[in-house]
A = this chain, B = another copy of it.
Amino acid sequence: MYIVILAGGSGTRFWPLSRKSTPKQLMSVFGGKSMLQRTVERVLPMNPKRIMVVTNVLQAAETRKQLEYITGVPVDVIEEPVGRNTAPAIGLAASLIARFDPDGIMAVLPADHYILDEEVFRGTLVQARSVAESGTLVTLGITPTRPETGYGYIEAEGKGEGRAIAVRRFVEKPNLERAMEFLATGRFFWNSGMFVWGACTILDQIGAFMPELCAALAKLTFGEEVWEISDLKPQIEAIYAGIKGESIDFGVMEKAEDVQVIPASFGWSDVGSWSALPEVMEGDAEGHVVINSHGSVSIGSEGCLASGNGKLVAFVGVKDLILVDTPDAIMVCSKSAAQDVKKVVEELEKRGETGYL
Protein backbone atom coordinates (compact mmCIF):
# COMPACT_ATOMS: atom_id res chain seq x y z
CA MET A 1 0.00 0.00 0.00
CA TYR A 2 1.06 3.60 -0.65
CA ILE A 3 0.55 6.16 2.11
CA VAL A 4 -0.36 9.67 1.00
CA ILE A 5 -0.17 12.14 3.87
CA LEU A 6 -1.92 15.47 3.42
CA ALA A 7 0.32 17.90 5.28
CA GLY A 8 -0.49 21.23 3.68
CA GLY A 9 -2.80 22.71 6.31
CA SER A 10 -2.17 26.19 7.65
CA GLY A 11 -3.74 25.52 11.04
CA THR A 12 -4.58 28.99 12.26
CA ARG A 13 -6.68 27.57 15.08
CA PHE A 14 -3.55 26.63 17.05
CA TRP A 15 -2.15 30.12 16.99
CA PRO A 16 0.07 31.37 18.56
CA LEU A 17 1.89 28.03 18.69
CA SER A 18 1.06 27.28 15.06
CA ARG A 19 2.31 29.73 12.46
CA LYS A 20 2.39 29.78 8.68
CA SER A 21 5.81 28.15 8.67
CA THR A 22 5.00 25.69 11.48
CA PRO A 23 1.33 24.74 11.24
CA LYS A 24 -0.30 22.19 13.50
CA GLN A 25 1.06 19.10 11.72
CA LEU A 26 4.64 20.28 12.29
CA MET A 27 3.98 21.18 15.93
CA SER A 28 4.69 19.11 18.97
CA VAL A 29 1.08 19.37 20.09
CA PHE A 30 1.44 16.63 22.69
CA GLY A 31 5.09 17.25 23.51
CA GLY A 32 7.81 15.19 21.82
CA LYS A 33 7.30 14.24 18.17
CA SER A 34 5.22 16.39 15.84
CA MET A 35 1.78 15.36 14.56
CA LEU A 36 3.34 14.61 11.16
CA GLN A 37 6.08 12.47 12.66
CA ARG A 38 3.50 10.55 14.67
CA THR A 39 1.40 10.07 11.51
CA VAL A 40 4.39 8.68 9.60
CA GLU A 41 5.59 6.45 12.44
CA ARG A 42 2.06 5.09 12.86
CA VAL A 43 2.13 3.49 9.39
CA LEU A 44 5.76 2.31 9.36
CA PRO A 45 4.92 -1.10 10.89
CA MET A 46 2.72 -1.76 7.82
CA ASN A 47 5.84 -1.52 5.68
CA PRO A 48 4.22 0.68 3.00
CA LYS A 49 5.74 0.82 -0.48
CA ARG A 50 6.23 4.58 -0.26
CA ILE A 51 5.12 7.44 1.92
CA MET A 52 4.20 10.54 -0.05
CA VAL A 53 3.82 13.73 1.96
CA VAL A 54 2.03 16.51 0.12
CA THR A 55 2.74 19.87 1.70
CA ASN A 56 2.93 23.56 0.98
CA VAL A 57 6.11 25.12 -0.37
CA LEU A 58 6.29 27.33 2.75
CA GLN A 59 6.47 24.28 5.00
CA ALA A 60 8.49 21.99 2.74
CA ALA A 61 11.89 22.62 4.31
CA GLU A 62 10.65 21.99 7.85
CA THR A 63 8.67 18.96 6.63
CA ARG A 64 11.78 17.42 5.03
CA LYS A 65 13.81 18.16 8.15
CA GLN A 66 11.27 16.47 10.39
CA LEU A 67 11.23 13.33 8.24
CA GLU A 68 14.99 13.00 7.63
CA TYR A 69 15.30 10.34 10.31
CA ILE A 70 12.78 7.97 8.69
CA THR A 71 14.55 4.97 7.14
CA GLY A 72 13.47 1.72 5.48
CA VAL A 73 10.59 3.29 3.51
CA PRO A 74 11.08 5.87 0.75
CA VAL A 75 9.56 9.22 1.72
CA ASP A 76 8.66 11.77 -0.96
CA VAL A 77 7.89 15.34 0.01
CA ILE A 78 5.76 16.88 -2.73
CA GLU A 79 5.47 20.66 -2.67
CA GLU A 80 2.29 22.44 -3.64
CA PRO A 81 2.99 26.03 -4.71
CA VAL A 82 -0.34 27.08 -3.16
CA GLY A 83 -2.99 25.26 -1.16
CA ARG A 84 -5.84 24.02 -3.37
CA ASN A 85 -7.70 21.91 -0.81
CA THR A 86 -7.57 18.09 -0.85
CA ALA A 87 -8.73 17.04 -4.36
CA PRO A 88 -5.68 18.36 -6.31
CA ALA A 89 -3.25 16.99 -3.73
CA ILE A 90 -4.90 13.56 -3.85
CA GLY A 91 -5.15 13.67 -7.65
CA LEU A 92 -1.47 14.54 -7.94
CA ALA A 93 -0.38 11.70 -5.65
CA ALA A 94 -2.72 9.28 -7.44
CA SER A 95 -1.27 10.30 -10.82
CA LEU A 96 2.24 9.52 -9.61
CA ILE A 97 1.28 6.15 -8.18
CA ALA A 98 -0.80 5.21 -11.25
CA ARG A 99 2.14 6.06 -13.51
CA PHE A 100 4.53 3.63 -11.86
CA ASP A 101 2.19 1.10 -10.23
CA PRO A 102 -1.21 1.04 -11.98
CA ASP A 103 -2.62 -1.47 -9.48
CA GLY A 104 -1.35 0.53 -6.52
CA ILE A 105 -3.71 1.06 -3.58
CA MET A 106 -3.29 4.28 -1.65
CA ALA A 107 -4.35 5.34 1.81
CA VAL A 108 -4.96 9.07 2.21
CA LEU A 109 -4.26 10.29 5.75
CA PRO A 110 -4.34 13.80 7.18
CA ALA A 111 -1.04 14.67 8.88
CA ASP A 112 -2.61 16.23 11.94
CA HIS A 113 -5.01 13.72 13.46
CA TYR A 114 -4.77 12.02 16.81
CA ILE A 115 -5.15 8.23 16.95
CA LEU A 116 -5.16 6.40 20.24
CA ASP A 117 -4.98 2.70 19.31
CA GLU A 118 -2.47 2.36 16.49
CA GLU A 119 -2.82 -1.42 16.17
CA VAL A 120 -6.55 -1.16 15.54
CA PHE A 121 -5.90 1.73 13.16
CA ARG A 122 -3.47 -0.33 11.06
CA GLY A 123 -5.85 -3.27 11.10
CA THR A 124 -8.59 -1.01 9.75
CA LEU A 125 -6.31 0.20 6.94
CA VAL A 126 -5.49 -3.39 5.96
CA GLN A 127 -9.19 -4.22 5.90
CA ALA A 128 -9.90 -1.10 3.82
CA ARG A 129 -7.21 -2.08 1.34
CA SER A 130 -8.82 -5.43 0.66
CA VAL A 131 -12.16 -3.69 0.04
CA ALA A 132 -10.49 -1.09 -2.20
CA GLU A 133 -8.85 -3.78 -4.28
CA SER A 134 -12.26 -4.51 -5.78
CA GLY A 135 -12.33 -0.98 -7.26
CA THR A 136 -14.41 0.68 -4.54
CA LEU A 137 -13.83 4.04 -2.88
CA VAL A 138 -13.40 3.39 0.85
CA THR A 139 -13.61 5.91 3.64
CA LEU A 140 -12.96 5.36 7.33
CA GLY A 141 -15.94 6.30 9.47
CA ILE A 142 -15.39 6.79 13.17
CA THR A 143 -18.08 5.27 15.37
CA PRO A 144 -19.27 8.36 17.25
CA THR A 145 -18.88 8.40 21.03
CA ARG A 146 -20.82 11.63 21.61
CA PRO A 147 -23.17 13.92 19.63
CA GLU A 148 -20.26 16.00 18.33
CA THR A 149 -21.30 19.08 16.34
CA GLY A 150 -17.78 19.86 15.15
CA TYR A 151 -17.48 16.97 12.69
CA GLY A 152 -19.15 16.03 9.40
CA TYR A 153 -20.97 12.68 9.37
CA ILE A 154 -21.31 9.77 6.96
CA GLU A 155 -24.66 8.02 6.81
CA ALA A 156 -24.32 4.31 5.97
CA GLU A 157 -26.95 1.96 4.61
CA GLY A 158 -26.69 -0.15 7.74
CA LYS A 159 -25.28 -0.35 11.22
CA GLY A 160 -22.41 -2.25 12.70
CA GLU A 161 -18.68 -2.39 12.85
CA GLY A 162 -15.95 -4.63 11.51
CA ARG A 163 -17.24 -4.72 7.94
CA ALA A 164 -17.57 -2.27 5.06
CA ILE A 165 -21.04 -0.75 4.57
CA ALA A 166 -22.31 1.16 1.55
CA VAL A 167 -22.47 4.92 2.06
CA ARG A 168 -25.88 6.59 1.66
CA ARG A 169 -24.67 10.19 1.95
CA PHE A 170 -22.19 12.62 3.45
CA VAL A 171 -23.68 15.14 5.93
CA GLU A 172 -22.31 18.54 6.98
CA LYS A 173 -21.70 19.38 10.65
CA PRO A 174 -25.10 19.03 12.36
CA ASN A 175 -26.57 20.97 15.25
CA LEU A 176 -26.82 19.19 18.60
CA GLU A 177 -30.35 17.94 18.07
CA ARG A 178 -29.53 16.36 14.73
CA ALA A 179 -26.26 14.98 16.07
CA MET A 180 -28.23 13.21 18.80
CA GLU A 181 -30.64 11.79 16.22
CA PHE A 182 -27.66 10.59 14.18
CA LEU A 183 -26.22 8.77 17.17
CA ALA A 184 -29.54 7.09 17.96
CA THR A 185 -29.77 5.49 14.50
CA GLY A 186 -26.39 3.71 14.71
CA ARG A 187 -25.93 4.36 10.97
CA PHE A 188 -23.95 7.60 11.23
CA PHE A 189 -20.17 7.84 11.51
CA TRP A 190 -17.75 10.73 11.85
CA ASN A 191 -16.13 11.67 8.56
CA SER A 192 -12.44 11.24 9.37
CA GLY A 193 -11.07 12.44 6.05
CA MET A 194 -9.16 9.17 5.74
CA PHE A 195 -9.62 7.25 2.49
CA VAL A 196 -8.34 4.07 0.86
CA TRP A 197 -8.66 3.38 -2.87
CA GLY A 198 -6.85 2.33 -5.99
CA ALA A 199 -4.87 5.15 -7.60
CA CYS A 200 -6.56 4.44 -10.91
CA THR A 201 -9.98 4.17 -9.22
CA ILE A 202 -9.82 7.68 -7.77
CA LEU A 203 -8.39 9.08 -11.02
CA ASP A 204 -11.36 7.56 -12.89
CA GLN A 205 -13.73 9.22 -10.44
CA ILE A 206 -11.93 12.56 -10.74
CA GLY A 207 -12.33 12.11 -14.50
CA ALA A 208 -16.06 11.60 -14.04
CA PHE A 209 -16.81 14.42 -11.57
CA MET A 210 -13.90 16.87 -11.81
CA PRO A 211 -13.06 17.13 -15.52
CA GLU A 212 -10.97 20.28 -15.15
CA LEU A 213 -8.72 18.78 -12.51
CA CYS A 214 -8.52 15.57 -14.57
CA ALA A 215 -7.44 17.49 -17.67
CA ALA A 216 -4.82 19.41 -15.73
CA LEU A 217 -3.36 16.27 -14.17
CA ALA A 218 -3.31 14.58 -17.60
CA LYS A 219 -0.63 17.07 -18.67
CA LEU A 220 1.89 15.59 -16.21
CA THR A 221 4.82 13.93 -18.00
CA PHE A 222 7.27 11.69 -16.22
CA GLY A 223 10.82 10.55 -16.77
CA GLU A 224 11.54 7.00 -17.78
CA GLU A 225 13.17 6.13 -14.48
CA VAL A 226 10.73 4.60 -12.01
CA TRP A 227 9.81 7.11 -9.24
CA GLU A 228 11.97 9.81 -10.79
CA ILE A 229 9.73 12.58 -9.48
CA SER A 230 12.11 15.20 -8.10
CA ASP A 231 11.91 17.35 -11.25
CA LEU A 232 8.14 17.73 -11.19
CA LYS A 233 8.15 21.12 -9.50
CA PRO A 234 7.65 23.35 -12.60
CA GLN A 235 4.93 21.02 -13.91
CA ILE A 236 3.11 21.08 -10.55
CA GLU A 237 3.36 24.86 -10.48
CA ALA A 238 1.81 25.06 -13.95
CA ILE A 239 -1.02 22.70 -12.99
CA TYR A 240 -1.83 24.50 -9.74
CA ALA A 241 -1.85 27.89 -11.46
CA GLY A 242 -4.79 26.75 -13.58
CA ILE A 243 -7.03 24.83 -11.18
CA LYS A 244 -9.58 25.71 -8.54
CA GLY A 245 -9.39 24.59 -4.95
CA GLU A 246 -11.82 21.79 -4.09
CA SER A 247 -12.16 19.13 -1.43
CA ILE A 248 -12.24 15.48 -2.42
CA ASP A 249 -15.38 15.17 -0.28
CA PHE A 250 -17.33 17.70 -2.32
CA GLY A 251 -15.57 17.01 -5.62
CA VAL A 252 -15.91 13.23 -5.65
CA MET A 253 -17.15 11.46 -2.53
CA GLU A 254 -20.57 13.11 -2.33
CA LYS A 255 -21.21 12.31 -5.98
CA ALA A 256 -19.64 8.89 -6.52
CA GLU A 257 -21.88 5.82 -6.77
CA ASP A 258 -19.84 3.14 -5.11
CA VAL A 259 -18.50 4.35 -1.79
CA GLN A 260 -18.06 2.08 1.21
CA VAL A 261 -17.45 3.15 4.79
CA ILE A 262 -15.51 1.04 7.25
CA PRO A 263 -16.74 1.85 10.73
CA ALA A 264 -13.82 2.03 13.11
CA SER A 265 -13.14 2.68 16.79
CA PHE A 266 -9.49 3.36 17.37
CA GLY A 267 -9.85 6.51 19.43
CA TRP A 268 -9.71 9.42 17.04
CA SER A 269 -9.77 13.22 17.06
CA ASP A 270 -9.00 15.71 14.34
CA VAL A 271 -7.59 17.93 17.11
CA GLY A 272 -9.29 20.80 15.34
CA SER A 273 -8.58 23.43 17.95
CA TRP A 274 -6.98 23.94 21.35
CA SER A 275 -10.20 22.83 23.03
CA ALA A 276 -9.85 19.35 21.48
CA LEU A 277 -6.64 18.58 23.35
CA PRO A 278 -8.28 17.67 26.66
CA GLU A 279 -10.34 15.04 24.77
CA VAL A 280 -7.19 13.17 23.88
CA MET A 281 -4.84 13.95 26.76
CA GLU A 282 -5.35 13.03 30.38
CA GLY A 283 -5.71 15.93 32.76
CA ASP A 284 -4.28 16.31 36.26
CA ALA A 285 -6.29 16.18 39.49
CA GLU A 286 -7.89 19.56 38.72
CA GLY A 287 -8.57 18.59 35.12
CA HIS A 288 -5.83 20.81 33.74
CA VAL A 289 -3.89 19.65 30.70
CA VAL A 290 -0.50 21.35 30.75
CA ILE A 291 2.02 20.78 27.98
CA ASN A 292 5.44 22.24 27.22
CA SER A 293 5.70 23.43 30.81
CA HIS A 294 7.93 23.29 33.84
CA GLY A 295 5.09 22.16 36.07
CA SER A 296 2.01 24.01 37.22
CA VAL A 297 0.34 25.45 40.29
CA SER A 298 -3.45 25.55 40.58
CA ILE A 299 -5.25 27.69 43.16
CA GLY A 300 -9.04 27.39 43.02
CA SER A 301 -8.94 26.54 39.34
CA GLU A 302 -10.04 23.68 37.09
CA GLY A 303 -10.28 22.40 33.55
CA CYS A 304 -7.66 24.61 31.93
CA LEU A 305 -5.28 23.87 29.11
CA ALA A 306 -1.86 25.46 28.89
CA SER A 307 1.10 25.31 26.58
CA GLY A 308 3.78 26.87 28.69
CA ASN A 309 6.81 27.45 26.46
CA GLY A 310 8.89 25.60 29.05
CA LYS A 311 7.76 27.76 31.96
CA LEU A 312 6.00 27.24 35.24
CA VAL A 313 2.26 27.79 34.70
CA ALA A 314 0.01 29.15 37.46
CA PHE A 315 -3.80 29.16 37.46
CA VAL A 316 -5.58 31.29 40.07
CA GLY A 317 -9.37 31.29 40.34
CA VAL A 318 -9.93 30.39 36.69
CA LYS A 319 -11.90 27.70 34.89
CA ASP A 320 -11.96 26.25 31.37
CA LEU A 321 -9.33 28.55 29.93
CA ILE A 322 -6.70 28.01 27.29
CA LEU A 323 -3.34 29.67 27.92
CA VAL A 324 -0.63 29.55 25.27
CA ASP A 325 2.79 31.09 25.59
CA THR A 326 5.34 31.41 22.80
CA PRO A 327 8.53 33.45 22.43
CA ASP A 328 6.76 36.43 20.83
CA ALA A 329 3.04 36.11 21.61
CA ILE A 330 0.81 34.99 24.42
CA MET A 331 -2.88 34.12 24.33
CA VAL A 332 -5.61 33.51 26.86
CA CYS A 333 -8.87 32.11 25.50
CA SER A 334 -11.98 30.55 26.96
CA LYS A 335 -12.42 26.94 25.88
CA SER A 336 -15.84 27.77 24.47
CA ALA A 337 -14.26 30.39 22.20
CA ALA A 338 -11.47 28.16 20.87
CA GLN A 339 -12.89 28.38 17.36
CA ASP A 340 -12.34 32.15 17.46
CA VAL A 341 -8.58 31.85 17.72
CA LYS A 342 -8.46 32.10 13.94
CA LYS A 343 -10.01 35.57 14.27
CA VAL A 344 -6.85 36.71 16.02
CA VAL A 345 -4.89 35.55 12.98
CA GLU A 346 -7.31 37.40 10.71
CA GLU A 347 -6.93 40.56 12.77
CA LEU A 348 -3.14 40.33 12.67
CA GLU A 349 -3.28 39.82 8.89
CA LYS A 350 -5.46 42.91 8.60
CA ARG A 351 -2.92 44.90 10.63
CA GLY A 352 -0.06 43.60 8.49
CA GLU A 353 1.59 42.08 11.56
CA THR A 354 3.16 39.33 9.46
CA GLY A 355 5.76 38.57 12.08
CA TYR A 356 3.10 36.90 14.21
CA LEU A 357 1.55 34.81 11.41
How many chain copies does the complex carry?
2
A299 at the interface (CB under 8 A from B): yes
With known contacts A321-B318, A336-B317, A299–B330 Cβ distance under 8 A: no
A347 at the interface (CB under 8 A from B): yes
**A309 contact set on B, CB distance < 8 A:** 330
B-contacting residues, A280-323, CB 8 Å:
294-295, 297, 299-300, 304, 306, 308-309, 311-318, 321, 323
Pick the interface stretch among A43-51, A222-230, A338-346: A338-346
**What is the bound-complex CA distance between A271 and B28, given in angstroms?**
40
A318 and B330 within 8 A (CB) = no
A328 at the interface (CB under 8 A from B): yes
**What is the bound-complex CA distance between A314 and B346, given in angstroms?**
12
B330 and A344 within 8 A (CB) = no
Partner of A332, one of B318, B336, B340, B347: B318
**A323 contact set on B, CB distance < 8 A:** 323, 330, 332
Q: How far is the CB of A240 from the nearest CB of chain B, in Å?
A: 32
| A315 to B, closest residue via Cβ | B332
A337 at the interface (CB under 8 A from B): yes
With known contacts A340-B300, A343-B299, A347-B297, A333–B312 Cβ distance under 8 A: no
Which residues of A are in contact with B by a Cβ distance under 8 Å?
15-16, 294-295, 297, 299-300, 304, 306, 308-309, 311-318, 321, 323, 325-334, 336-338, 340-341, 343-344, 347-348, 353, 356
Closest 9 CB pairs of A and B: A317-B337, A316-B333, A314-B331, A317-B334, A312-B329, A299-B343, A314-B344, A297-B344, A316-B337
